[in-house]
Each structure stands twice: as C-alpha cells, then as structure tokens.
C-alpha cells in the first residue's frame, strides 16, 4: 500500500496545534519544571562555553593577524553558534521570548568576552614585545559574533 501525501488543510493544522497544546498541559508538573530548567542550564552552558572560547582564542590573537585571524575567528564563532543553535532549536517547548533572549543575550555577551580578551591579548603582545600588531577589539568581537549568529539566522529563515 502506498502512502499518499496530502497537503495540510487549515482544519488539520488547527487540530494538530490543539493536540500539541493539550499534550503540553497534560505533562506532569515536574516534567514542565525540568523543561524550564533545561533552558536555563543551556544558557549557563553557553555563557561558560563563550568564556572558554574567549580564553582559547588568546594564543590565536597573539600569534595571528590579518585575514587568517579573521577567518579563524569567523570559523570558531560559526562552529560554536551552530552548536548553540542546534541545541536551542532542539528544545521544542521554548517560547519565542526565550528564543529571543537567548538569541540576543548570548551574542552580546560573546562580543563583550571576545573584546575583553582581545584587549588582554594586545597587552600581552606589547608586554612580550611581539611583532604581531595589536588588534581592534571591536573588529575582533564583531567578526566572532558575526560568525556566531549566522547559523541561528540561517536556521530561522530556513524554518519560515
């Protein structure tokens, strides 16, 4: 027997949404608390992950310059952003306000972290009298965050 794919009618779509809302309401309270806690744990892990990535970038900032540095920053940012977007969009129970908070708060924190560590790496470059020119912390942070937000943006447009 072959399965024939039918287009979703407005009635079927509305019925499906109603079934999903009822299923959410029927969840035990402890499961709903765990769903909410999962979001906050994810945010905490993203904050810690961004901090760790910022620390790991210091040797790259000390040694690299120009296009190679910016490509590396973009790639690391895009990789971490893809991971975060994959996990964030995998949590079905999130409200759009929670997605918005995570999508704005984490990149803002990332640009601040990377910018601070760019300033610190510039101080190390001067202190160690290295030939690497100091980096503009705003450009370094912007390139990292640009790479970081691209996967989430693509995921958002793909979903629509």
Flag whether 149 is in a domain.
yes
- Its domain, for residue 116, covers 29-159
Cα 94 to Cα 116: distance, rounded to the nearest angstrom: 31
Cα 47 to Cα 64: distance, rounded to the nearest angstrom: 25
Cα 27 to Cα 15: distance, rounded to the nearest angstrom: 19
What domain count does the chain have? 1
Tens of each residue's pLDDT in the chain, 160 residues:
455 556 777 777 788 778 877 877 777 888 777 777 877 888 888 888 888 988 888 898 898 888 999 999 999 999 988 888 877 776 655 566 666 677 788 888 888 888 899 999 999 999 998 888 988 999 999 999 999 989 888 877 776 6
Are residues 73 and 143 in contact, defined by beta-carbon separation less than 8 angstroms?
A: yes
3-state secondary structure of 122: helix
Flag whether 38 is in a domain.
yes
Flag whether 4 is in a domain.
no
Q: What is the pTM of this model?
A: 0.72
Cα 150 to Cα 148: distance, rounded to the nearest angstrom: 6
Closest to 91 measured CA to CA, from 151, 41, 29: 41
């Amino acid at each position: 027997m072959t399965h024939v794919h039918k287009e979703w009618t407005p009635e079927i779509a509305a019925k499906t949404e109603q079934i999903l809302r009822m299923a959410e309401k029927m969840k035990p309270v402890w499961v709903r608390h765990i769903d909410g806690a999962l979001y906050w744990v994810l945010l905490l892990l993203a904050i810690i992950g961004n901090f760790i990535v910022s620390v790991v970038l210091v040797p790259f900032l000390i040694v690299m310059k120009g296009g190679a540095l910016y490509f590396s920053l973009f790639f690391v940012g895009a990789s971490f952003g893809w991971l975060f977007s994959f996990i964030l969009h995998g949590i079905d129970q999130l409200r759009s306000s929670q997605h918005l908070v995570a999508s704005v708060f984490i990149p803002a924190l990332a640009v601040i972290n990377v910018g601070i560590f760019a300033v610190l790496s510039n101080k190390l470059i001067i202190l160690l009298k290295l030939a690497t020119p100091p980096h503009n912390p705003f450009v370094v942070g912007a390139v990292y965050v640009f790479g970081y937000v691209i996967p989430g943006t693509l995921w958002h447009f793909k979903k629509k």
